[in-house]
Structure 1
Amino acid sequence: MPDDDSGQETGQKESFGSGIRGWVLPVAAAVVAAGFGGVSISNGLADRDRANQEAAASQSAAAVPVCQVVDRKDLIPASGALFGVNLNLDAKPLSRYAADLGRKPAVSVSFADFPYTGAEKAHLQAAAAQIRDDGHMMLLTLEPKQGLAAVTADVIDELVQDLVSINNQGVPVIVRFAHEMNGSWYPWSQQPVEYKAVFTRVADAVHSRAPGSAMMWAPNYGGGYPFAGGQFEAKPGSADFAALDTDGDGVLTMADDSYAPYYPGDEAVDWVGMSLYHWGAKYPWGENELPEANKFADQLTGNYIGANGDDSLLTDFYHVYGADHGKPVAIPETAALYNPAAGGASEADIKRGWWEQVFGPETHAAFPDLKMVNWFEWDKNEVEVNGRVDWTVTNTPAIRDAFTAALPDWLEYGTGTACRPAGT
């Protein structure tokens, strides 16, 4: 999601707002800077700090015995869904979040540029250490900000080696590669032919050499597609434009399929995912508004009528890519906007209104293939509202108590990773 919304149509804002919301790789000291779709590692780390981080990660990994690896097929819960978190680990370590929640999250979300630097590799190891103790599984979002051509065979090889190392520490990994590829704001956007080829190469390497890791395909919610005006939108006359013009009328509109041209195929994909947020009921964002009835379910199935107008032309993501393709469905990120500087509905009412939809009994009954839901636990400035948004549910005691009490018994949590040595 771009930091600069200039040139975007009003109807696209809900979709742009459903994008990546932050960086969650842990560092002892904050070494992050505001980035393209959230926060990214600063290039200004001192050489000494980088060396110290890499050494610490190496020592941590060396101290962990080689564990039995859980096969990727066994990462999908038989019933119910994994509960996870996208957490600002510079503000709150995973152990403290688990104490606040009263449970260890089954999934912790991390981000990295791809190719990643030595410092980012150290951060991945540090994230794995926290997850090993106070969670269970890593959802690793890889962002090829240098473009898809930078994802070479050597880069993929290094990734697989690192995945094997993390898996051997007892931490499964689901790789969310080049998310929101159907948007127009990332260097890998709207390049369906090359995207599918690179995704498949990454998937083939992961599947053949890292059995404890899996691949997730995660487009942006299609409301507002094709997101005209973005820096990386497909240009008329290009091969990508032709591939995206699914109805053959010479223009890209909501009538074109916003997902299918980007799907790499069932052999490459283990999970399908879509981030869904409540940014508000109408544009402009920043007002405190209650979620509309059934919004979460309607967005997931392409039936939402709200901020983008009538989205009924959208494909039913859940049923087509979950049920029909036989894939577990994930909500990699979700939360509800509360702007402390604005009036309107109360924080408790907004957030309760959203979590009651996301975690309600009707969700479990209607979507049995929904196997992962991750809450976005950040309090941060958002360019869409030109100010602070508090997405969290554990920082305020009354809201935390209400949220934890509302979590249903169909959710599964982490227990910390009990390392069973390999070969036993």
Structure 2
Amino acid sequence: MSVRIDLVDQDQYADSGPPHEQLRWLRETDPVHRHDGDPPFWAVTRFDDVVHVSRHSELFSSHRRLALFNEMPEEQRALQRMMMLNQDPPEHTRRRSLVNRGFTPRTIGALEQHIRDICDDLLDKASGEIDFVTEIAAPLPLYVICELLGAPVTDRDKIFGWSNRMIGAEDPDYADSPEEGQAAAMEVYAYANELAAQRRANPRDDIVTKLIQPDEKGETLDENEFDLFVLLLVVAGNETTRNAASGGMLALFEHPEQWERLVADPALAAPAADEIVRWVSPVNLFRRTATQDVTLGGKQIREDDKVVVFYSSANRDASVFTDPEVFDIGRTPNPHIGFGGGGAHFCLGNHLAKLELRILFEQLARRYPRLRQTGEARRLRSNFINGIKELPVVL
């Protein structure tokens, strides 16, 4: 059997999402696959191999050539390497320990009622036929980010626009060119600078104040580090939750028996949040670079080779998940790696994302049991974020 393998064709993602047929064939036939490209790369598709790459930063670096798929000129890489996403231990460990102060279980737990109020407010304002993405899935994490940053809620539209332009640089609906994404990033830096200056003058009980103050060892984030963290929060804190929510809603429409289960028992929203992240895999891939010659899945990988892990594939690996092609909101256990495969870069905001998804789907099931889809979902043209731009529904 010959299968045409192209795991990065943007148009394919815009048309139908991740290429699950190709990914299944690779898992079963060639799990560490030498994929054509400029440069060529190793496509890692099995759960155990993705976890191995994720947990061995000393062998598979985020720093050498960054963590995003596309190649960048060296002068751009130099700035990007200051972002946690593109660092390896020990520098990454230092930075993460500083940022962790804003994401303790206590800090996140204190947001539960606030998130419930946000969901109620969004559902109170929505009526009749709406676009689920722009009226519910997108505003929820934006409101929460504004709360975390202590930024006025009126800034959410600005944050939404910046995030769209950075992530949607390959999608004509969001950005005309990659340069527009870079311009949006510069606007976020300026915004972060302004927030930090305000908190230095007037400290408050928010994450910005925590992050610009020294920790118990007297260490603090410098100006560039802080700006880049806000950039990461604006993208990672918004895009993943927004696309898990809209992708999860679409999955529930496509599996109406699961929606009926949730309506009958809204407490299933907790395991449903994990199953939605597994099924949707909002982040499709990340890139690493081999730091030395290494063997993976029986293949000889050379130093400086490009290695790309596919979470959307690992999360449907039949050696780990029973009936992985079945969407089951009560699935347990559910050891998905939709928040990363462990190791240094495990998602800092995973508890927050799950909290937002649990509360949203619990409220939807309670308040709108007859919610239904009224038109085609439109997907983002991106091989990085498994995103949905539009999902017409009627409440």
What TM-score do you get using the length of structure 2 for normalisation?
0.29
Instruction: Kindly indicate whether structure 1 or structure 2 has the higher relative contact order, using CA contacts under 8 Å at least 6 residues apart.
Output: 2
Could you say which structure has the higher helix fraction?
A: 2
What TM-score do you get using the length of structure 1 for normalisation?
0.28
Could you say which structure has the higher strand fraction?
A: 1
